[in-house]
Amino acid sequence: MRVTIDAERCQGHGRCFTIASDLFDSDDLGNGFVIGDGAVHADREHDARLAAQNCPEHAVMIEEDA
């Protein structure tokens, strides 16, 4: 699994990095960004999905492994 953030949609609600601070961080304006390449370890997939499911702007995207 990989996570990405659509920077055009992100408005800095801060839900993603509150739920999964090992996968997401925030910049100086409070907008979210993905840490590293966005690869999600199997035991972090639940929180990665929650980060996507809680984003009010639908800016957090999940790419499941094929």
Partner 1 sequence: MTPETVTNFATEFDDSQPPSPHGPVADFATDFDHTDPAWVKDPYPIWDDLRERCPVAHTDRYGGAWLPTTHHDVHAIANDHEHFTSRSVVVGEGRPGPDAPPAPQGIAPPISSDPPFHQGARRILLPAFSPRAVAELEEFTRTLCNDLLDRIEGHATVDASADYAQHIPVGVIARMLGVPADAGDTFRAFIHTILEGVDKPVEQRIEEFAPIEEYLSAFIEDHLANPRDDLTTFLLDAEMDGRPLSPEHVFGSVILLLAAGIDTTWSAIGSSLWHLAQHDDDRRRLARDPAMLTVAIEEFLRAYAPVTMARLVTQDFEFQGCPMKKDDWILLSFPAANRDPAYFDRADEVIIDREVNRHAAFGLGIHRCVGSNLARMELRVALECFLARFPEFSLADPDNVAWSRGQIRGPRKLDLAIG
What is the contact surface with partner 1 in residues (CB under 8 A)?
11-15, 17-18, 26-30, 50, 53-57
CA 1 from centroid of its chain's CA atoms: 12
Which one, of 43, 37, 46, lies nearest residue 3 by Cα? 37
In the complex, the smallest distance separating the C-beta of residue 66 from partner 1, rounded to whole angstroms, is 25
Closer by beta carbon to partner 1, 4 or else 26: 26
Least distance in angstroms from the C-beta of 42 to partner 1: 19
User: Could you tell me the smallest distance in angstroms from the CB atom of residue 5 to partner 1?
Assistant: 15
CB atoms within 10 A of CB 1: 15
